[in-house]
Structures are given as structure tokens and as C-alpha cells.
Chains A and B, each alone.
Chain A
């Protein structure tokens, strides 16, 4: 109770100081000490009179006053307890609103992916590609609601910015090398176990669900123009139910990667602020597994193994998609504070600026690389460089300064160009949209860059992953953080790829993964979806040739 009085006294002192702005400045040595107040003092704080309020409030000075604070006991009137509870609720309300709004922005990225992937495919597959991007939203969400969220967040323990969430507190762990290794959460299925019917759990679910769905939509690009819709549906379900949630639990849900710091002294444990690894590398490596299983599109490689370009049908859609994705990324990265008030969340401005800087340098690096090496500033690769910068900055955005953000984005812009060529010419893997390079390669780069560039200046409540202090990378004095990041990379490659591949083979046995050659040559719109995306366009083509 004493602390409540103190808080209220400080609040009143602050209000008094604001009101006395016109008074002559007071010497710091003579500043009045905060005075403890009582419920009686609050009686003098009167809400505006009804007749004043009835005249309207054009300047906003009568709206949002003491009269709007919920009073628990009308006989007592406004008390300090009411006041302090309102302050706490305001903080959590700000964080709820921030997290939800950012979640809506991330959901909007689905449209960006849909346009980008569809534009990069041929017109004869447009309906099929769009439907995969729409379908993955429903399929992924359903699987995540049934079990994925529970596996990922069922043992997270508490999220201070969202008011605690004590109900998600059951993590299954094994004992390894004398330390607990958290493997998966055990509560939250159907959002209906124990106390999961909870306002904060709902906010966390929405935000984490749209993140998962971003990851789930990545393979649809790499597998486009030859993926059987049934195979896509089952693969997406498995991704959202198991593949993504398992790694996300290890990184964000209190699992073993996040405790590498507390258990083994490796920096602050595996650190991935908004998901270069959790979302993008998981999606990119799953995309690689599916693309290998499917094999290349007919005509992509000649019998001598040389790749042939299969042109995008609408570059306008591609670049519109890229811009929508960049817009949505302002929900992705700054939203990962899960709040705008308290625990260092005011860094959201820095995170947003880092995000936009990396996208700019990524785009410029890719554009100039293509211009210099191939003679033209290729539009689709410029778009991919734009996204590569965003993917790479996603993990470090909360821990680096603007200069390092620009460097991270620039490296990603070049890396994506080199990786696309490597995947196509060396691996002979057909990836129509460059998803493996944009999300896989640059996602891994983003994870590593935390271990290099984190500058030790962030402060999210004084600790990260239960280790006191700020996340600090190799260039700022902590080499052990880089080791933690590389263990994350090893897990992504060794576990996520392997599990995705095994799931992909299983689906291939159950429903088949690849469409028939006849369907592929005809275009997947009619054989798989039953309707063309552009029927008039097809008629026009037929009538003019």
C-alpha cells in the first residue's frame, strides 16, 4: 500500500509541475520533495460539470478526466487504489493495442506474399498460386489453434508487457548434461486448457499466429507451378502444427535454445528479436526441402543441366507485393516488443528505423549488384534485395544501431543475388520466387548478425532470456553470443530441414506432392483449381493466335 501512495504522489507532483509551467524556474536545490497524498486529496479533483460537458468539447480538454476513471466503490468515490489500477490498466491497454495493431499489419503481409509470388509465376498458374497463399492462412491458423500455439507458447511462463500470462506455464523438458532442455509447451491447445480463456493469451495468440503464417507461406513460393494442392494443404498443416512451433518454442517459448545463456553461459542464449531464424529461416529451409522433393518445373533445366529463365507474368504485382511486405514489416519488427510501454519498449522507434534502413541498403545493394554484373537493374532481384534486407534485420533489429543495420541490409542484398545463382546453377534446385535465398540464406545471416553486431545498448527490462544485461555481439565484446547464434543456425539446418524433408516425404506417400506433367504443361489453374485466373485473357490469346 505504501508503494501505491508513493506512485500516486509522484503522479500528482508531475501533474502539478506540468500545470506550473508559467511559473518562474525553481532552483534544483529548492525543488519540493514529493508529498504523500491520501484518498481525501483526490476529492478535490472534480470531473467537468455536466453543463460544461453539454456544450461539447472542441479542444479536447474536458474529455478523458478524473470522471473517466472507474470507481470501485461509489460511496467512497475516487481512491488512490482506483487511480493506480487505472495507470496499470492503461499501460497494459497501450501494449495490447500496440501488439494487436502490429499483428494486423503482419496479417496484411499475406497479401504482399500473394501478389509477389503470383506475379513471379506464369499467368496459367495464377489462380493456383493465389489460392495457396489464401489457403495457407486458414489451414495454418487452424493447425496452430489446435496444437501449434500450445507447443510453441505453452511453457513461456510470463510475458510482462502483456500483464504476465501465468497460465502458459507448462514446458516439457528433458535433463541433458545436468541441465533442463525445454522441448515443447503443454498448455494452450484450442485456447481452452486451464486458464487459457484469457485476454492476454488471446493477444499473444493473434500476434504469434500471424508470424507462423508468414513462415508457412514461404514454401508456396519455392514450390509454385508444380505443387499438388492436396500436398500443399497437408504440408502446411504439418508446418503450422509441428515444424514451426517446435523451433519457435526453443527460441521464444522458454525452450533449450533460449536457455543457452542461463545454462551454459553463452551470451543471453539464442537471440532472435522478431524471427530471422524462427520465421524466415524455418520457412526458407522448409521451402528448400519441398523444392528438392518436387524437383524443377518442366523446362527449367535443359538436358545439359543449364537453367532456362521462366519469366514472371506480372512485374507490377511483384513490386506491389514487395512494398506491401515492407509496410507490414513495421508490424513485424517493432511489434515484437509486445508493447509500447515499459520494459524498454520505447526502443520501437529505433527498431522501426533499423528496419527501414536495412530494407533500403538491401534493395540498393541488390540493384547495383545486378546492374554491374548483368548490365541491368533487374526488377525482381531488386525486389528480392529489398526483402532480403528486411529478413536479415528481423533478428537483430532490437539490438543494433543504424550503421550496423545498414551494413546488415547491404550484405543481405548481395548475399541474396549470389545465393539465387548458387541455388539454381550449383544445386539445380528450382525456386521460382527465390524464397530459399531471401528467407533461408538471409534469415540465417540475420541470426548470425545478432552475434556480430548487437551493441549492448538495448535494455528490455534489464535482462534477456533470464540473463542480466544487454545483448552484445562479437564486435562489441561478447564472442559467446555468436556461439549461441551459431547453435541456432545448426539447429535450423540440422533439425528444421530434416524434419521438413521427412514430413515432405510422408506427404508424398500419402497424397503425392507433384502434379502430373500434363497438368503442369496445361497450367495448374484448371486441373487443380477448376477455374482460370484470367479467363478473358486466355480467350484473347486464343483469338489472336
Chain B
């Protein structure tokens, strides 16, 4: 579930960046929206996708 949320967030970040093209015509406004999109995508990858895999990583297993 966490992986799915992470991938959705990653795609949502891209969507926000694309939407910046139509939400505003100002360069500064687009810059802010695109950076926000990148941050959302990175949060999805680092905060959800990777964390879900690290939780079950091989070095955490009892051996």
C-alpha cells in the first residue's frame, strides 16, 4: 500500500508540474509550482516507496 501511495505521489508531482503550464503564465508562478511538483515526487519516492522496502530489508531479518 505504501509503495502504491509513493508511486501515486511521484506521478502527482509530475502532474502538478505540467498543470503549471496552464494554471499561470508568470515565470515565477510556474517556477514555484514546478519545484513543488518535484518535491512531491521526491517525497513519494523517498518517503513512501523506499521506506516500504527498507522496512522489509534483508539486514533487518533475523539470521
Are A487 and B58 also in contact (CB < 8 A) when A480-B27, A501-B49 are? no
Minimum CB–CB distance from A427 to chain B (whole Å) comes to 6
Cβ B60 vs Cβ A494 within 8 A: no
Minimum CB–CB distance from A152 to chain B (whole Å) comes to 20
**Interchain CA distance A292-B54 in the complex, whole Å:** 8
Number of B residues near A (Cβ < 8 Å) is: 33
Q: At the interface, yes or no: A486 with Cβ under 8 Å from chain B?
A: yes
Interface residue ranges of A268-293 to B (CB < 8 Å): 288, 292-293
Closest residue on chain B to residue A308 by CB atoms: B59
Cβ B31 vs Cβ A479 within 8 A: yes
The B contact surface, by secondary structure, is: helix
* A302-313 vs B, Cβ < 8 Å mask (1 yes, 0 no): 110100000000
**Interchain CA distance A296-B45 in the complex, whole Å:** 17
Cβ A296 vs Cβ B27 within 8 A: no
Q: At the interface, yes or no: A483 with Cβ under 8 Å from chain B?
A: yes
**Interchain CA distance A298-B58 in the complex, whole Å:** 7
Residues of A contacting B49 in the complex (Cβ-Cβ under 8 angstroms): 292, 501
Size range of the interface on A? 35 or more
The A contact surface, by secondary structure, is: helix
Q: At the interface, yes or no: A342 with Cβ under 8 Å from chain B?
A: no
Are A264 and B37 also in contact (CB < 8 A) when A296-B59, A301-B57, A493-B42 are? no
Cβ B27 vs Cβ A305 within 8 A: no
Minimum CB–CB distance from B4 to chain A (whole Å) comes to 11
Q: At the interface, yes or no: A97 with Cβ under 8 Å from chain B?
A: no
Minimum CB–CB distance from B44 to chain A (whole Å) comes to 8
**Interchain CA distance A366-B8 in the complex, whole Å:** 36
Interface residue ranges of B1-56 to A (CB < 8 Å): 7, 10-15, 17-18, 20-22, 25, 27-28, 30-31, 34-35, 37-38, 41-42, 45-46, 49-50, 53-54
Residues of A contacting B58 in the complex (Cβ-Cβ under 8 angstroms): 295-296, 298, 517
Q: Of B17, B25, B53, B60, which is within 8 A of A491 by CB?
A: B17
Cβ A493 vs Cβ B57 within 8 A: no
**Interchain CA distance A305-B14 in the complex, whole Å:** 32
Cβ A428 vs Cβ B13 within 8 A: no
Minimum CB–CB distance from B41 to chain A (whole Å) comes to 4
Cβ A494 vs Cβ B46 within 8 A: no
Residues of A contacting B46 in the complex (Cβ-Cβ under 8 angstroms): 427
**Interchain CA distance A177-B20 in the complex, whole Å:** 11
- Which of B11, B17, B50, B58 counts the most A-chain CB atoms under 10 A from its CB? B58
Residues of B contacting A368 in the complex (Cβ-Cβ under 8 angstroms): none
Cβ B59 vs Cβ A486 within 8 A: no
Residues of A contacting B42 in the complex (Cβ-Cβ under 8 angstroms): 493
**Interchain CA distance A298-B59 in the complex, whole Å:** 7
Closest residue on chain A to residue B30 by CB atoms: A483
Minimum CB–CB distance from B30 to chain A (whole Å) comes to 5
Are A296 and B57 also in contact (CB < 8 A) when A480-B27, A482-B31, A491-B14 are? yes
Interface residue ranges of A477-501 to B (CB < 8 Å): 479-480, 482-483, 486-487, 489-491, 493-495, 497-498, 501
Which positions in B face A, CB cutoff 8 Å? 7, 10-15, 17-18, 20-22, 25, 27-28, 30-31, 34-35, 37-38, 41-42, 45-46, 49-50, 53-54, 57-60
The 3 residue pairs across chains A and B that have the minimum distance between CB atoms: A494-B14, A490-B17, A301-B59
**Could you write out 7 A-B pairs with CB less than 8 Å apart?**
A298-B58, A479-B27, A480-B27, A490-B38, A490-B41, A493-B42, A494-B10
